[in-house]
Structure 1
Amino acid sequence: MRGDIQDYLDQRPDEKLFVRVHPEWYRRLSRSPGDLNQLKPAADLFYGRTFGQRLDRFHQRASVMSMLVAMAQAMSEQKSGEQPK
């Protein structure tokens, strides 16, 4: 692999790890260094840093919070509905 690509990867440890996990990228960058501009989007997709993936995680967290709030309301209604003996 070319020295400039190695320097680029040394400055970005997450992309370096991505190349180590996916050896096809090592071969691809060795054969055509111009594909370096396609490495970041592929690494972002792998690490879940795309806008769509972040939006999905937000929706999942919001639905969990909504469920917890609904459960807390149901418990408080159940407790207030009990009559003391």
Structure 2
Amino acid sequence: MSVGAQAWIVFLLIGLVAGFLASLVVGGGGLIRCLLSGVIGAFVGGFLFQALGISLGIENALVVQIIHATVGAIVVVLIARVIA
């Protein structure tokens, strides 16, 4: 397996975990909804944390990415609910 394929798998797993954690916070969602909200939330969370200049001070990059993606997924789900 190439490095690019491994990176995509890790990215999707982070999105899935983040989507699952977000569904625990705001409720609802199946596997696909968790994956989609987590992957979109990864982009949104990364943008928000960088734009606001927030640094968590955690040295483990995987944990930081999961936290960013979870916060982003929560924001995405809440915005989707407001729009719907």
TM (normalized to structure 2)?
Answer: 0.32
TM (normalized to structure 1)?
Answer: 0.32
Give 1 or 2 for the bigger CA radius of gyration: 1
